[in-house]
Amino acid sequence: MNQPTQIVSLVFLAACLGGCGTTRWSDTPRTATEQRLISNAIDESVNSIDVSPLAHQKVFFDTSNIDDSVQQKYLISSLKYHLLRNGCYVLEKKEEADYVVEARAGVIGTDHHDLLIGIPESSLGAGIPGMPASLPEMALYKKTNQLGEAKIGLFAYHRTDGNLVWSSDTKISNKLAKSVWAMGIGPMQRDGTDGPIRWAGEAPPQLPKLAMPALSVPQFARKDKPETPEYEMPELAPPPSELDSGKVSIQPAGNEIPVLK
């Protein structure tokens, strides 16, 4: 094989051995954290409503006032399930029901708060020769909070005459997610649930368990030490009055002196 052919073969082999792969990453319009905060707040608010007065009643569930709420399908389904679970007969046709249960949602949404101790990102260098267009953020401490809140209420009235028969107070619930950076390290996150703090979206590393050497325990400190035998009290001799009367006779034992009758 001549030299040009060898070179071409080596180049072809190197091209076959080399390579790269790509993975497409994308984000949903609403983050999972936002959806989880709102759904958890909805769950807590709905579960705190006592609908037991409507148990075993035929009701029609009116959702017209919450059709434009955030996560409206989850909110409607949660309320309907709550009614069914507590013994209500939820009918599809309004004319077949005795009562109409109407839902209202005052708040379904999130708030966002940031705290920065340090120098925020700025564009002071824009237009200055030799300076970068923007200065990066330099934070000693940074915290980001996102609050999900739900304010939900129910009331019921007669389908025929429209008289109010029952009403719940509006129930407010909120869930908080936190992210903290310290000296450029982070984020340390809590996602609005009762789970552990996460490090950059992952569970913190677990420290290895160290095996402790076995220690010798003194005999007096052991729980399994042998028990001390109980001391047996000797039998006492009868009182002198019974000996004198001749009712009791003592048999000689050891060095004892017998008592003669």
> Is the peptide bond between 208 and the residue preceding it cis, with omega within 30 degrees of 0?
no
Tell whether 59 is covered by a domain. Answer: yes
Look at the pTM and tell me if it is higher than 0.85: no
pLDDT of residue 194: 65
Q: Are strands 99-119 and 58-62 parallel, antiparallel or unpaired?
A: parallel
Q: What is the dihedral of CA 91, 96, 98, 99, to 10 degrees?
A: 50
pLDDT of residue 260: 46
pLDDT of residue 231: 58
Residue among 151, 154, 156, 164 at smallest CA distance from 49: 154
Tell whether 220 is covered by a domain. Answer: no
Segment 76-80 long-range contacts (CB within 8 Å, at least 24 positions apart): 76/103, 78/42, 78/43, 78/46, 79/46, 79/103, 79/152, 79/154
CATH number of the domain to which 102 belongs: 3.40.50
pLDDT of residue 261: 44
Tell whether 164 is covered by a domain. Answer: yes
Q: Which domain holds residue 51?
A: 30-109+149-173
Tell whether 231 is covered by a domain. Answer: no
Give strand pairing partners of 66.
Answer: none
Give strand pairing partners of 146.
Answer: 112, 177
Tell whether 179 is covered by a domain. Answer: no
Q: What is the mean pLDDT of each run of 10 residues along the chain (261 residues)?
A: 63 62 81 92 96 96 91 95 97 96 95 90 69 77 93 96 94 92 83 68 66 59 59 62 53 50 44
The structural domain count of the chain equals 1
Tell whether 82 is covered by a domain. Answer: yes
Tell whether 253 is covered by a domain. Answer: no
Tell whether 142 is covered by a domain. Answer: no
Q: Half-sphere exposure (CA, 13 Å, Cβ side) for 108?
A: 26
